[in-house]
Amino acid sequence: MADLLEQDNTHQTLQEVNKALENGMFVHVRRLLQDMEPEDIAHLLEASPPKERQVLWQLTDPEEQGEILDELSEDVKDGIVAQMAPEKLAAVTEGMESDDVAYVLRSLPDERYQEVLAQMDATDRHRVEKALAYSEDSAGGMMSTDFITIRGDVTADVVLRYLRMRGELPEATDALYVVDENEYLIGHISLATLVTTQPDIEIREVMEDSDEAIPVDMDDSEIANLFERRNWLSAPVVDSNNHLVGRITIDDVVDIIREDAEHSMMSMAGMDDEEDTFAPVMKSARSRSIWLGVNVLAALAAASVSNMFEATLDKMAAIAVLMTIVPSMGGVAGNQTVALVIRGLAVGHIGDSNTRWLLSKEARVGLINGLLWALIIGGVVVLWKGDIILGAIIAGAMLTNLIIAGVAGVCIPVMLKKFNIDPALAGGMALTTITDIVGLSVFLGLATIFLV
Amino acid sequence: MADLLEQDNTHQTLQEVNKALENGMFVHVRRLLQDMEPEDIAHLLEASPPKERQVLWQLTDPEEQGEILDELSEDVKDGIVAQMAPEKLAAVTEGMESDDVAYVLRSLPDERYQEVLAQMDATDRHRVEKALAYSEDSAGGMMSTDFITIRGDVTADVVLRYLRMRGELPEATDALYVVDENEYLIGHISLATLVTTQPDIEIREVMEDSDEAIPVDMDDSEIANLFERRNWLSAPVVDSNNHLVGRITIDDVVDIIREDAEHSMMSMAGMDDEEDTFAPVMKSARSRSIWLGVNVLAALAAASVSNMFEATLDKMAAIAVLMTIVPSMGGVAGNQTVALVIRGLAVGHIGDSNTRWLLSKEARVGLINGLLWALIIGGVVVLWKGDIILGAIIAGAMLTNLIIAGVAGVCIPVMLKKFNIDPALAGGMALTTITDIVGLSVFLGLATIFLV
């Protein structure tokens, strides 16, 4: 219910905005946008077709454009950034945190972002260049360099006085980092601990050791797993010398968790997880075409299998009618296993220690469901076509294919992962190719032996 | 790289534990488990086959069992809880937060959890009963009832003194809630603001209004979207009278985000997202069998279509050989669209205001890719089978099916959502059934008209 209400709100605004746009009431749209938070404007832009999106962007407050860009998903952000002048980009990113500026600029071609950097003042440029030097998918690329450090030998009261003098804390601050005179990280103290500590107690007595600081080159998915498992709100980032270089907060990690999980779903359907729902037609057609090309090969492979049995098909049309059933069931059963294994690999549940157990389990699941559906389909075919041998043949092919589907469903993603190929992307297609080929070969092969 | 390291660590522990278990070195295993965090033990249990899981559970520290249960995924947790005596359950959940106890007990049959509740002391029982009364998927079912309230007319200094006197704050506290004398929520103050406020300033001058408090019956996915969009760390929960009743923290929301995203992936493959990777064979076979049953109907529907063209198939085996290609391409293209639309619906990008635009876009993407692959496959067939009419027929069927796939890929999930049916679960199967039927009918129909 609440779900519907909230989405209705967004779409009411969207419809109001669309109507105002159609009628050319740009002043009204500008006023609507002024009342919205940057993250809601980002959402509105993402939910708009290309033309409306462009007009809307022109009507946003330039002061807020930097923050809106930071909230947009990559594909949509890139589309907008590509059309902005360097001076404009430098202006809208002024005052933003360096990791957010790096996100906004990362997709620009080299010479374009050099132009943008040239427009910034020296300190900002230096910080952004540092952020851009880290890989986008690493701790360095995600971290903020805006954090508060204190010494261990001061009292809680001194820290509070310092914070009051300093004023507002960096966004999403939940802990202060304790460093020694060489800026080496030695611990951290949460604000929750700070406010419950007696004023005369020294920080080092109540701080926690930072033995789980994040290395600057750690992979973002791994960081997300750590945050999720440890229930962290933020974590310090250190370089190879245990020198404190940044801070990662849960709000950035939440985006990674969503992206990783979406990645599995989108990849299994052969889509890029960054694909903009409202991308231009040609762009979408091109990006999807690659996957269709892979499937053409798979479909032709299956057709070549049938082709080998052309003589059999020529003699008995009933075989052609029934030949799609076994591959279809094998594909569905195998993809169930593939989805389970892909999730297990992503969350780190599956490794050398338990792959064999899982393989034997999935083979047995295939055996049980294979027996069940072999009996049912065999029975249906006997009743439908009145041919007991044909029923037995399809039952045998079904049983074989469902067992193969279970085994391949475990082996394919695990092996792809070993070869560093994304199992979510290639797993389903490889599986379907195998179940198609096995299903057709066994069914048509048995038919050739026993019926022709 | 870090990814591999971390997973290696888990699997090294797992292998060490497995080896120790095989050799009956239970004391060694118990010691290994004592050195681990509850969340890591939960991970180890989830990554273990059923028998090992049971032995491991017996070797965990009873003091930690409550926390481990809370960290386990639902299916695994339920398996363990079902075998525990009521006194044992009451003992391990003692001292836990009421929402966590509710999570642990929720799956028990009525009389069993009444027995557990009877073992608790009156206050705990009352709190847990209250938590159990809310739906699992609502704010009420997620919230913690452990939070700190203050009045608006006290100074920052008074609050700090109160907190120091109170000692440790509830887990993941990042803000204090400001209520009036009737416990109505009037605002909140983050710890970050508190520590930067001068001691003599009154709270109401620096607090923020809580105009976005979460209603107690709000749906969990909606809560997750709000947290994600607003970058919240925690949020107050109020009843219909704006009475403060609880607090939701980001760590619980992260679990929802992961579950929602996994749900889409697993559902599209016809799996329950709570399915335990290492579930017993019979349990897995049963749960998957339902989906295979749905697919049997879809496969039989496709076979009936071919059956209508039995006479055609009887005359020309090449048609049978090629007839699987067009349905296969349609299924893959349609599922790309379905995945895009399911994600768009889940994040709230797609609504009445833009469905029509999206429909026309996907139809045009289908047209472009349809033309491309019609030409390619048509050409391949002409070369392969030396039959220009057959090539033209398959090209025409391909073009038709890819356009239909784009249109159906948008319409099916959107309509399912309108009828309150989960588009992720039913969308892919419904799409494939349509592209199979359309693909076969058009190809075999054209072949019947022009070739037979």
Contact B342, B424 (CB under 8 A): yes
Q: Is B301 on the interface with A (CB under 8 A)?
A: no
Nearest CA in chain B to A310: B317
A8 pLDDT more than 60: no
Single-letter amino acid code for the residue at A404: I
| Cβ within 8 Å, pair B353-A284 | no
Contact A265, B260 (CB under 8 A): no
| CA distances (Å), origin B170, targets A70, B126, B234 | 33, 19, 12
B376 pLDDT more than 90: yes
B406 pLDDT more than 90: yes
- Considering only CB atoms, which chain B residues are within 8 Å of A285? 364-365, 368-369
Q: How far apart are CA B104 and CA B93, in angstroms?
A: 8
Class of domain B281-451: mainly alpha
| Cβ within 8 Å, pair B364-A167 | no
- Considering only CB atoms, which chain B residues are within 8 Å of A299? 324-325, 328-329
Q: Which of B166, B266, B350 sits opposite A277 (nearest CB)?
A: B350
B148 pLDDT more than 90: yes
Q: How far apart are CA A235 and CA A238, in angstroms?
A: 10
Contact B319, B440 (CB under 8 A): no
B74 pLDDT more than 80: yes
B435 pLDDT more than 90: yes
Q: How far apart are CA A75 and CA A53, in angstroms?
A: 13
pLDDT for B387 equals 93
Contact B193, B199 (CB under 8 A): no
Contact A36, A63 (CB under 8 A): no
- Considering only CB atoms, which chain B residues are within 8 Å of A327? 324
SS3 category, A189:
strand
Q: What is the largest CA-CA distance in chain A?
A: 95
| Cβ within 8 Å, pair A302-B324 | yes
CB atoms within 10 A of CB B233: 23
| Cβ within 8 Å, pair B317-A327 | no
For chain A, give every domain's residue range: 8-136, 149-268, 281-451
Q: Which of A166, A278, A340 sits opposite B275 (nearest CB)?
A: A340
CB pairs under 8 A between A and B: 393
Task: Give A383's pLDDT tier (boundaries 50, 70, 90).
Answer: very high
pLDDT for A23 equals 83
pLDDT for B150 equals 95
Nearest CA in chain A to B215: A2
Q: Which of B167, B231, B327 sits opposite A196 (nearest CB)?
A: B167
For the ranges A176-190, B9-23, B274-288, B309-323, the lowest mean pLDDT is seen at B9-23
CA dihedral A372→A373→A375→A379, nearest 10 degrees, is 150
Task: Give A11's pLDDT tier (boundaries 50, 70, 90).
Answer: low
Please give the sequence-ordered ranges of beta strands (E in DSSP) within B200-334, or none if there are none.
208-209, 214-215, 234-238, 244-249
Nearest CA in chain A to B283: A365
Contact B194, B156 (CB under 8 A): yes
- Considering only CB atoms, which chain B residues are within 8 Å of A296? 325, 329, 373, 376-377
Q: Is A289 on the interface with B (CB under 8 A)?
A: yes
| Cβ within 8 Å, pair A296-B233 | no
b/e B399-409 (16+ beta carbons within 10 angstroms → b) = bbbbbbbbbbb
Task: Give B1's pLDDT tier (boundaries 50, 70, 90).
Answer: very low
CA distance B86 to chain A (A): 28
Nearest CA in chain A to B330: A292
Contact B394, B326 (CB under 8 A): yes
pLDDT in tens, A346-357: 888 888 888 999
pLDDT for A1 equals 33
| Cβ within 8 Å, pair B295-A217 | no
Contact A269, B335 (CB under 8 A): yes
User: How much is the ipTM here?
Assistant: 0.84
| Cβ within 8 Å, pair B292-A329 | yes
Q: Which of A71, A196, A253, A256 to mutate to test the interface with B (most CBs of B within 10 A)?
A: A196
Reading across the β-sheet that carries A175-179, which strands appear in turn?
A: A149-150, A175-179, A185-190, A208-209
Q: Is B375 on the interface with A (CB under 8 A)?
A: no
Q: What average pLDDT score do residues A443-452 get? A: 91
- Considering only CB atoms, which chain A residues are within 8 Å of B146? none
pLDDT for B279 equals 86
Please tell me what DSSP assigns to residue B170.
Answer: P
Nearest CA in chain A to B275: A340
The backbone torsions φ and ψ at residue B175, rounded to the nearest 5 degrees and listed phi first, read -155, 155
Which residue from A277, A422, A399 is spatially nearest to A330, judged by alpha carbons?
A399
Homologous superfamily (CATH) of A149-268 is CBS-domain (3.10.580.10)
| Cβ within 8 Å, pair B46-A349 | yes
CA distance A119 to chain B (A): 30
Q: Is A422 on the interface with B (CB under 8 A)?
A: no
Q: Which of B72, B336, B401 to mutate to test the interface with A (most CBs of A within 10 A)?
A: B336
Nearest CA in chain B to A157: B195
Q: Is B106 on the interface with A (CB under 8 A)?
A: no
Please tell me what DSSP assigns to residue A169.
Answer: P
Interface of A with B in 305-364 (CB under 8 A): 306-307, 310-311, 313-314, 317-325, 327-329, 332-333, 335-336, 338-344, 348-354, 357-358, 361, 364
Q: Which of B99, B159, B231, B452 to mutate to test the interface with A (most CBs of A within 10 A)?
A: B231
- Considering only CB atoms, which chain A residues are within 8 Å of B354? 14, 47-49, 278
CA-CA-CA-CA torsion sign (B341, B344, B347, B352): negative
Angle of helix A325-346 relative to helix B250-268, nearest 10 degrees, comes to 160
Q: Is A212 on the interface with B (CB under 8 A)?
A: no
pLDDT for B131 equals 86
Contact B374, A67 (CB under 8 A): no
pLDDT for B11 equals 65
Task: Give A106's pLDDT tier (boundaries 50, 70, 90).
Answer: confident
- The two tokens of residue A174 are 């939940």
pLDDT for A328 equals 93
b/e A192-210 (16+ beta carbons within 10 angstroms → b) = bbbbbbeeeebbeebbeeb
Nearest CA in chain A to B18: A353
B211 pLDDT more than 80: no
Task: Give A9's pLDDT tier (boundaries 50, 70, 90).
Answer: low
| Cβ within 8 Å, pair A195-B196 | no
The backbone torsions φ and ψ at residue B273, rounded to the nearest 5 degrees and listed phi first, read -70, -15
Q: What average pLDDT score do residues B320-347 get? A: 92
Nearest CA in chain A to B432: A328
A399 pLDDT more than 90: yes
pLDDT for B119 equals 87
pLDDT for B326 equals 95
pLDDT in tens, B163-197: 999 999 988 899 999 999 888 999 999 999 999 99
Q: What average pLDDT score do residues B430-441 get? A: 94
Class of domain B2-136: mainly alpha
Angle of helix A26-34 relative to helix A2-22, nearest 10 degrees, comes to 150
Architecture of domain A8-136: Alpha Horseshoe (1.25)
Burial class (CB within 10 angstroms; exposed 0-12, middle 13-18, buried 19+) of B92: buried
Task: Give A10's pLDDT tier (boundaries 50, 70, 90).
Answer: low
Which residues have C-beta within 8 Å of that of residue A15, sequence separation ≥ 6?
B352, B353
| Cβ within 8 Å, pair A174-B233 | yes
| Cβ within 8 Å, pair A296-B329 | yes
pLDDT in tens, A294-348: 888 999 999 999 999 988 898 888 999 999 999 999 999 999 999 999 988 888 8
| Cβ within 8 Å, pair B317-A313 | yes
Q: What average pLDDT score do residues A32-39 get? A: 88
Task: Give A436's pLDDT tier (boundaries 50, 70, 90).
Answer: very high
Contact B409, B431 (CB under 8 A): yes
Which residue from B363, B433, B372 is spatially nearest to B398, judged by alpha carbons?
B372
Task: Give A4's pLDDT tier (boundaries 50, 70, 90).
Answer: very low
CB atoms within 10 A of CB A428: 27
How many residues are present in chain B? 452
| Cβ within 8 Å, pair B271-A336 | yes
pLDDT in tens, B120-134: 888 888 888 888 889
Q: What average pLDDT score do residues B395-411 get? A: 97
